[in-house]
Structure 1
Amino acid sequence: MVRHYPGGPRSSEVTKQLILDVAERLCAEGGVEALSVRAVCEQAGANVASISYHFGNKQRLLEEMFQRRVTPLNEERLRLLDCALSGPRDILLEEVIRSFVAPVIRGIASTSPVEGENLGNSSLIVTQFLARIYSMPGEEDFLKAHYEPVRSRFVLALQVCLPGLSLDDLLWRYNMMVGALIYAMAGPQRMARRPIVFSNVANSDLENDPEYGIEQMVAFIASGFRARGLAQEWQIKHKAVAIHSVSLAGASQKCPPL
């Protein structure tokens, strides 16, 4: 679909952003691996040379798609965390968690299609795209470059709040927090969807309130972090089982044949 812009040809930056919008939507709809440069060009009203000029190749296009969504979120996360850490009192666990989840939930609540276009990045498109990128094989280095600084800062802050929790337990729970957030990125309608058995119960007005969603997540995740640690107990339990198994094996070897 070729687009015409009043007053003359569109600028180079407009073309670049339009390519990113179209590529993001197609990626979300069909998957990262199925993304076609030709389809992007056709729907953006651009040519293949534009992809090469602005991005170099498909991989770089994917990376810029990711960066423009994730970089502002991570910057806001770190800003909120810095504000919480600079306070006059000890930082609370809930403040760390809120700094991590709030920018994402608020961002989704404010995301809407571009007026007059069908290429806007709805919350569902952004969610699908990010979820696919998270699970892409071979993207570990790219994700590490964009997420490791944020991950390290938040894990250190969580350790301050939970000094008695082992690093193993802390990392498991951090990753489960990320998983819960990815699911929540599907939007408030999915989070508030009733099971069939409750289909006759009217939805609450709270389902469209992002701040309510944030506080639900903070309360749930904080409870998970505060649960008793399992790593040390698990290691002791399995060490005991292993010793018991070795003892049984030794005893069976000493028994005379019948």
Structure 2
Amino acid sequence: MSPTQRTNHSDTRKRLLEATEWLFIESGYEAMSLRHITARAGANLAAVNYHFGSKEALVQELLSLRLDRLNRERLQLLSACEQQRPEELDAAVVLAMLFVPAFRLSHGGTSGPAFMRLLGRVYSDPSPFIRGYLQEHYRSISGRFFEAFARALPALPRSELGLRLHFALKALSGMLAGEDMQQLTASISKGETINDAELLARLISLISPILTAPFGSPEQIKVIEQVLQLDDSTANASIEPTSEPDHGRHDTPAAQHWIREGSPVS
């Protein structure tokens, strides 16, 4: 094979990986077909078969390229922190150890800013193939971090910790996978320049209460029961909705985003 042919083969392989990454971020594993990948990469199915063999192998190669280094660095950081401050690792610090390497890698390499969106998609994609890949290849790191969280939150039963971690990381991953990360960053910064530490601290402050909040008290449960009863009564009433007075309220951009994207009445 001539140098020119080797270059062409290398370029085709790179284009296929880049196209796969973009399509995976945008639509997820199940909605992404080889036809979509080859069309975006300007290649053909024969090229996929030559370089990877299948869609599954292509996606596995992409995930390995993006996640292997990240998870090595996460484990190294966890080990270093455990040695330096074993008694001081609270839940927020453990969360930071998950995301600090990711933020650093998002500023360099071939993926750049798309790296965080890729992570968000990986951890929120419901495909059995993606879930199986993560369990098979990264179970050890999940176990290490679970034990770190368990030490940081000793009062939580392990089953409750697992449930809370599931919701906390899903919430953060779903946000990272969205198109509005830049808008969210702008809302957090309030127009000021902030560094990664400040941004991460703010994001973690939004997520960590999921892990640290106390169990619902009898008083809280009673109030929720009252709300449920009120909902039953109002649902049965055929009252035309009326517009609320503004009362001079001016929502912040973050509040406007929540109302637009996450309102329970949307």
Answer yes or no: same fold by TM over 0.5.
yes
Deviation at 1:229, TM superposition (A): 4.1
Deviation at 1:78, TM superposition (A): 1.1
The equivalent of 2:103 in structure 1 is: 105
Deviation at 1:107, TM superposition (A): 3.4
1:204 counterpart = 2:196: no
The equivalent of 2:155 in structure 1 is: 164
Q: SS of the residue aligned with 1:205?
A: coil
In structure 1, C-alpha distance between the alignment counterparts of 2:32 and 2:8, rounded to whole Å: 25
Q: Deviation digits for residues 175-231 of structure 1, max 9, x if unmatched? A: 12312331342464232465xxxxxxx93214x53221211133344443332246x
1:214 counterpart = 2:200: yes
1:227 counterpart = 2:213: yes
Query: Relative contact order (alpha carbons < 8 A, sep ≥ 6): 1 or 2 greater?
Result: 1
| Contact 2:122–2:130 under 8 Å retained in 1 | no
Deviation at 1:112, TM superposition (A): 8.4
Q: Deviation digits for residues 86-127 of structure 1, max 9, x if unmatched? A: 11541421322210122233334x16888xxxxx87357635
Task: Provide the aligned C-alpha RMSD in A.
Answer: 3.3
Give the TM-score, by structure 1 length: 0.68
| Contact 2:168–2:208 under 8 Å retained in 1 | no
The equivalent of 2:49 in structure 1 is: 52
Q: SS of the residue aligned with 1:8?
A: helix
Deviation at 1:154, TM superposition (A): 0.8
Give the TM-score, by structure 2 length: 0.66
Aligned partner letter, 2:200: I
1:32 counterpart = 2:25: no
Q: Deviation digits for residues 17-45 of structure 1, max 9, x if unmatched? A: 22110122233334433323234334434
In structure 1, C-alpha distance between the alignment counterparts of 2:49 and 2:121, rounded to whole Å: 22
Gaps of 5+ in 2: 222-266
Matches within 5 A, 1:1-258: 8-9=4-5, 10-87=7-84, 89-93=86-90, 94-108=92-106, 110=107, 122=114, 126=118, 129-130=121-122, 134-185=125-176, 186=178, 188-192=181-185, 203-206=190-193, 209-229=195-215
Aligned partner letter, 1:135: P
Whichever of the two has the greater Rg, that structure is 1
Deviation at 1:46, TM superposition (A): 3.0
| More moved, 44-53 vs 34-43 | 34-43
In structure 1, C-alpha distance between the alignment counterparts of 2:186 and 2:168, rounded to whole Å: 21
- Are residues 69 and 170 of structure 1, via their aligned partners in 2, closer, same or farther at CA, if it must alter by over 3 Å? same
